[in-house]
């Protein structure tokens, strides 16, 4: 590590991407009400981008169509030849670079199988035992003696990123700067978002070069040495993946855990049932991710003139798939706006997308949330919302989570 340069902070070190995020993505609450109303008034496919339909000044130089039903969203994800990921070259690609999310077949197919090899079940299980468990326990240890905490600021916002730092064997002192840069990459149309992508790209290029010379037992070294049929990942693809990983894996997991805890603590009967029967945890995690998708919408590009849900869409149009709308579609999920871990199983919710672009790291994300929830249940007896503090409010038009989650528990 001696040859590895330190990560460079923002030119303005006081820049806070979480505050800036609200200015870009808004503080929209009661999103289910907005989606149900929009679908009732406009139908399953609505001309215009979701953000513009919600009243935001959203940049767009192409026609856009927003999908609001489970069927239309599923159809688009399962047809990657017609609905491509080209759109991400001018969004995520600006900050992440040549990322897997911005690729289409055959390039995407070729590189995805290499990344999948790095995320084999045995690797995920080992990370769970050696890294995830240690991180969540260390964080809880810092506040469990108090009997009160803000679980967002003190736990959920921190643990997934600290896991990634350790997976990559990064210098511990650089953690706060990595955290800021990683989250700022979401703000692709801002100077700070581009700055974050540039600085992380410079750092990860140096990291890859250093780990080629001095391999370690870490994820970067694993990616560098992964091989399928004699092919390895190019350096620029590894660097882009690391930029996206430190953002997507940390960001999505922290928001998903925050939303799940909110749903459970706002429904004490369900929380008590989970506390008494940990076998309910997988379905509770699934319900939390269905109820309030951490990433509310994603995009595709129409490769040809096509009809979606009875609406004609021209080639080149941007397709906005609203995951929360798909997951609260009453035709598939009865009372879809309600959090219910005992929900009758119908169809799988749209969480990590469907089809060939389904998230490579979804199993690791579920493992991390599982370990985090079990640790909180084990070490914070009588965990409950703090009645003397404001209740959590899930907000945002794209990236959703409660800004605070104030709780009480029996100190230990």
Q: Which residue has the higher pLDDT, 58 or 220?
A: 220
pLDDT at 318: 95
Tell me the pairing of strands 231-232 and 64-67. Answer: unpaired
Residue 266's pLDDT band (cuts 50, 70, 90): very high
Residue 328 predicted with pLDDT over 60 = yes
Q: Topology of domain 17-408, per CATH?
A: Cytochrome p450 (1.10.630)
The 8-class DSSP code of residue 278 comes to: G
Neighbours of 411 (CB within 10 A): 12
Residue boundaries of the structural domains of the chain: 17-408
Residue 352 predicted with pLDDT over 70 = yes
Cα distance between residue 321 and residue 35, in whole Å: 12
Element (H, E) at 409: none
Q: Decide: 327 and 350 in contact? Cβ < 8 Å.
A: yes
Q: Decide: 389 and 406 in contact? Cβ < 8 Å.
A: yes
Tell me the pairing of strands 318-322 and 64-67. Answer: parallel
Question: φ and ψ at 65, to 5 degrees?
Answer: -135, 130
pLDDT at 1: 44
pLDDT at 114: 83
> Which residues fall within 8 angstroms of residue 109, CB to CB, at 6 or more apart?
356
Q: Decide: 194 and 95 in contact? Cβ < 8 Å.
A: yes
Cα distance between residue 316 and residue 297, in whole Å: 19
Question: φ and ψ at 210, to 5 degrees?
Answer: -65, -40
Residue 213 predicted with pLDDT over 50 = yes
Residue 371 predicted with pLDDT over 50 = yes
- What's the pLDDT tens digit per position in 130-172? 999 999 999 999 999 999 999 999 999 999 999 998 998 888 7
- What's the pLDDT tens digit per position in 331-346? 999 999 999 999 998 8
Burial 1-12 (b: 16+ CB within 10 A, else e): eeebeebeebee
Which two tokens mark 1? 């590590």
Cα distance between residue 203 and residue 179, in whole Å: 14
End-to-end CA distance of the chain: 38
Cα distance between residue 95 and residue 103, in whole Å: 15
pLDDT at 127: 87
The 8-class DSSP code of residue 390 comes to: P
pLDDT at 261: 98
- What's the pLDDT tens digit per position in 176-197? 898 899 888 888 888 999 999 9
pLDDT at 385: 98
Which two tokens mark 158? 């921190």
When the pLDDT of each residue in the chain is averaged and rounded to a whole number, the result is: 90
Residue 245's pLDDT band (cuts 50, 70, 90): confident
- The residue-averaged pLDDT of 118-123 equals 83
Cα distance between residue 104 and residue 107, in whole Å: 6
Share of the chain above pLDDT 90, in %: 60
């Amino acid at each position: 590590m001696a040859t590895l340069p330190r990560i460079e902070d923002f030119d303005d070190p006081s820049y806070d991407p979480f505050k800036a995020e609200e200015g870009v993505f808004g503080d929209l609450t009661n999103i289910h009400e907005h989606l149900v109303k929009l679908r009732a008034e406009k139908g399953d496919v609505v001309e215009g981008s979701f953000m513009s339909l919600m009243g935001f000044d959203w940049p767009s130089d192409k026609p856009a169509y927003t999908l609001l039903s489970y069927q239309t969203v599923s159809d688009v994800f399962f047809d990657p030849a017609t609905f491509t990921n080209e759109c991400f070259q001018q969004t995520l690609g600006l900050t992440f670079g040549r990322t897997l999310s911005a690729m289409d077949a055959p390039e995407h197919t070729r590189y995805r199988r290499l990344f999948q090899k790095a995320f084999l079940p045995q690797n995920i299980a080992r990370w769970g035992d050696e890294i995830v468990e240690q991180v969540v326990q260390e964080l809880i240890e810092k506040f469990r003696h108090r009997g009160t905490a803000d679980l967002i600021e003190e736990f959920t916002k921190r643990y997934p990123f600290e896991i990634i730092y350790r997976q990559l064997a990064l210098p511990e002192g650089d953690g706060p700067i990595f955290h800021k840069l990683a989250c700022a990459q979401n703000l692709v149309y801002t100077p700070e978002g581009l700055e974050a992508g540039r600085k992380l790209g410079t750092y990860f290029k140096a990291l890859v070069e250093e780990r080629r010379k001095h391999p370690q037992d870490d994820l970067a070294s694993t990616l560098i040495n992964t091989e399928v049929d004699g092919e390895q990942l190019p350096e620029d693809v590894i660097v882009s993946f690391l930029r996206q990983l430190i953002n997507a894996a940390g960001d999505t997991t922290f928001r998903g855990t925050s939303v799940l805890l909110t749903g459970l603590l706002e429904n004490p009967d369900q929380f008590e049932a989970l506390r008494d029967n940990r076998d309910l945890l997988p379905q509770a995690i699934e319900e939390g991710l269905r109820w309030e998708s951490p990433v509310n919408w994603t995009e595709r590009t129409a490769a040809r003139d096509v009809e979606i849900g009875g609406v004609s869409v021209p080639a080149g149009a941007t397709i906005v798939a609203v995951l929360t709308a798909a997951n609260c579609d009453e035709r598939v999920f009865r009372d879809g706006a309600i959090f219910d871990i005992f929900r009758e199983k119908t169809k799988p919710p749209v969480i990590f997308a469907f089809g060939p672009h389904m998230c490579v790291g979804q199993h690791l994300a579920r493992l991390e949330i599982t370990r985090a929830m079990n640790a909180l249940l084990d070490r914070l007896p009588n965990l409950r919302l703090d009645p003397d503090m404001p209740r959590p409010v899930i907000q945002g038009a794209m990236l959703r989570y409660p800004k605070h989650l104030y709780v009480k528990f029996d100190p230990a």
